[in-house]
């Protein structure tokens, strides 16, 4: 075949598949005879070496890393339009029986991106596990590190893991604060499109794809993209169902027996309520199932608190937060069903009773056990109660006389939330487990805002704006260990 081809139609080097297998190749347009005979994907890409490659080859033309990443002195930078296009092409490469060439090319592209950003892969890896993982432990660090060390050498990595690796950088990277940067950043847009592309082309279950979706949803929550987070979490729930995972049933799994899918289901429960805290227009849970009754929930919290000093402290705290989130889902979904039967009934009193009982349990356990263990979960309940009162007052304030005791309780919740923030605002991330995580901080901030206080009144920061901008500011400061003073 090669003898009949003009020199101008031949590539200077072998195709990715032949080069990976160290075989001779008659690479020509559009594919070499070896790949064509086996109906395999074929393209001309740059080789993967033990170090970061100098460039990516696309369509036979060298693309330098400087053309893929838009560097910035004030932040980690963003990918360019060309980089976004190359990533999208990598996500869309079809699985044609043997996709080694596509995965090798994607690994090369990921290396180029990390080469041009301010921090290399190793620093990004360490930053994620130091700042994000302690309060959102959805990754198993030894397993992730083992796969991470394979990127850049001659071991082919899956597209799902490449997506997850870039998501860990996105969620822990410096904020895109330069005025010339667009928001949302191109890297986020490319990763979200990649998430949906891989979800549509899924043939084999990969938990890495679910974990990447959860990190994208967390990024959206932290930057005020509530509607986008709601849609992303819906896709994550669909992926969990593909693996026959029941998020509610996963709550019964002990921490010592929890696998990656189980922990991801706990994260879905938590994010389901965190999104609601930021956007009450989505008050009902995405989860449909039998949520534990209040009595069973309280017994679980008692047992979990008693065992809080045993096992993985981070996962114990995460599991408790997931269970409290499930309890909050129960009240919302239960009252939705009652409204269908009797649309004239007011569910406020029933939900108030459920939330109050749960808060009393949390406060009682906080006095008898480590307050750090229940800090985030308590903040979540406080925020749910505050949102409930604020919604009830705004809906009935003109027609129904709001009870004075209700106003006092609302004020008490605001005070508790404010005290929790004040106790945390001068501390840095990861210095003490007793401090609120970002989820807890977001919950307490959301609890205090309905009173009409601005960010300076609540946190001592001179930053005015709507809740989306305040949350974005807080998330950027929090993830990098800066103080709010």
Mean pLDDT of 435-460: 64
| Residues contacting 467, CB < 8 A, separation 6+ | 224, 278, 446, 449
How many residues in total does the chain contain?
A: 485
Across 293-302, 324-333, 356-365, least confident range: 293-302
Q: Would you state the pLDDT for residue 334?
A: 55
pLDDT at 200 over 80: yes
> N- to C-terminal Cα distance for the chain?
71
Place of tokens 């300076």: 456
Q: For the chain, give the mean pLDDT.
A: 69
Query: 277 with 221: CB under 8 angstroms?
Result: no
Q: Name beta bridge partners: 56.
A: 63
Query: 301 with 361: CB under 8 angstroms?
Result: yes
Please give the biggest Cα pair distance in the chain: 92
pLDDT at 10 over 60: no
141/430 Cα distance (integer angstroms) = 17
Residue 25's pLDDT band (cuts 50, 70, 90): confident
- pLDDT higher for 330 or 396? 330
Q: Would you state the pLDDT for residue 297?
A: 57
DSSP structure class, residue 11: -
Q: Would you state the pLDDT for residue 114?
A: 78
| Residues contacting 142, CB < 8 A, separation 6+ | none
- pLDDT higher for 127 or 346? 127
77-136 pLDDT, tens digit per residue, is 778 788 888 888 777 765 434 455 556 677 778 877 877 775 567 777 888 888 788 888
CA distances from 421 to 67, 318, 360, 440 (A): 43, 20, 20, 9
Number of CB atoms found within 10 A of residue 369's CB: 16
Percent of the chain with pLDDT over 90: 7
Place of tokens 């356990």: 365
Query: 137 with 182: CB under 8 angstroms?
Result: no
Q: Would you state the pLDDT for residue 198?
A: 87
411/451 Cα distance (integer angstroms) = 8
370-385 pLDDT, tens digit per residue, is 566 677 888 888 888 8
pLDDT at 142 over 80: yes
33/39 Cα distance (integer angstroms) = 10
Residue 233's pLDDT band (cuts 50, 70, 90): very high
Q: Would you state the pLDDT for residue 85?
A: 83
- pLDDT higher for 307 or 211? 211
Q: Would you state the pLDDT for residue 118?
A: 56
Residue 52 backbone phi and psi in degrees, to 5:
-65, 130
- pLDDT higher for 424 or 171? 171
443-452 pLDDT, tens digit per residue, is 777 766 655 5
Mean pLDDT of 274-301: 60
Across 32-36, 79-83, 219-223, 458-462, least confident range: 458-462
178/72 Cα distance (integer angstroms) = 8
Residue 485's pLDDT band (cuts 50, 70, 90): very low
Domain definitions of the chain by residue range: 1-44, 62-222, 295-479
Residue 50's pLDDT band (cuts 50, 70, 90): very low
Mean pLDDT of 249-253: 77
- pLDDT higher for 327 or 239? 239
Q: Would you state the pLDDT for residue 107?
A: 73
- pLDDT higher for 164 or 383? 164
- pLDDT higher for 168 or 354? 168
Mean pLDDT of 414-423: 67
Best CA proximity match to 386, nearest among 354, 357, 355, 421: 355
Query: 285 with 333: CB under 8 angstroms?
Result: yes
């Amino acid at each position: 075949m090669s003898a009949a081809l003009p020199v101008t139609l031949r590539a200077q080097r072998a195709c990715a598949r032949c080069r990976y297998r160290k075989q001779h190749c008659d690479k020509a347009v559009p594919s070499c005879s070896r790949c064509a005979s086996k109906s395999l994907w074929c393209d001309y890409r740059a080789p993967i070496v033990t170090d970061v490659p100098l460039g990516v080859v696309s369509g036979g033309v060298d693309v330098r890393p400087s053309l893929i990443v838009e560097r910035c002195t004030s932040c980690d930078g963003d990918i360019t339009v060309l980089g976004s296009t190359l990533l999208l092409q990598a996500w869309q490469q079809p699985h044609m029986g043997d996709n080694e060439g596509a995965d090798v090319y994607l690994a090369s592209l990921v290396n180029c991106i990390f080469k041009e950003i301010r921090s290399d892969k190793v620093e990004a890896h360490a930053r994620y596990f130091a700042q994000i993982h302690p309060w959102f432990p959805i990754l198993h660090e030894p397993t992730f590190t083992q796969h991470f060390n394979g990127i850049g050498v001659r071991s082919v990595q899956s597209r799902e893991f490449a997506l997850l690796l870039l998501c860990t950088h996105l969620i822990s990277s410096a904020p895109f604060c330069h005025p010339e940067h667009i928001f949302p950043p191109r890297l986020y847009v490319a990763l979200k499109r990649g998430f949906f592309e891989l979800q549509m082309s899924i043939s084999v279950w990969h938990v890495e794809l679910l974990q990447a979706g959860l990190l994208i949803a967390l990024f959206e929550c932290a930057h005020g993209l509530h509607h986008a987070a709601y849609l992303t979490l819906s896709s994550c729930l669909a992926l969990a169902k593909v693996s026959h995972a029941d998020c509610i049933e996963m709550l019964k799994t002990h921490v010592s027996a929890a696998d990656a899918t189980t922990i991801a289901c706990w994260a879905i429960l938590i994010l389901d309520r965190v999104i609601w805290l930021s956007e009450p227009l989505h008050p009902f849970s995405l989860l449909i199932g039998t949520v534990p009754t209040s009595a069973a929930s309280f017994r679980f919290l008692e047992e979990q608190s008693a065992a809080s000093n045993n096992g993985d402290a981070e996962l114990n705290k995460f599991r408790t937060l997931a269970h409290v989130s499930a309890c909050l889902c129960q009240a919302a979904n239960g009252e939705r069903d009652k409204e269908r039967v009797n649309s004239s009934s007011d569910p406020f009193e029933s939900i108030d009773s459920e939330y109050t009982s749960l808060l009393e349990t949390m406060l009682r356990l906080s006095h008898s056990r480590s307050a750090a263990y229940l800090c985030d979960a308590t903040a979540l309940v406080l925020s749910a109660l505050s949102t409930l009162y604020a919604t009830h007052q705004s809906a009935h304030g003109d027609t129904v006389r709001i009870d004075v005791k209700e106003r006092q309780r609302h004020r008490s919740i605001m005070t508790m939330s404010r005290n929790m923030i004040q106790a945390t605002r001068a501390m840095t991330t990861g210095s003490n487990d007793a401090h609120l995580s970002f989820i807890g901080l977001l919950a307490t901030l959301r609890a205090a805002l309905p009173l009409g206080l601005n960010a300076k009144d609540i946190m001592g920061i001179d930053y005015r704006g709507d809740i989306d901008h305040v949350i974005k500011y807080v998330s950027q400061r929090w993830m990098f260990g800066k103080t709010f003073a």
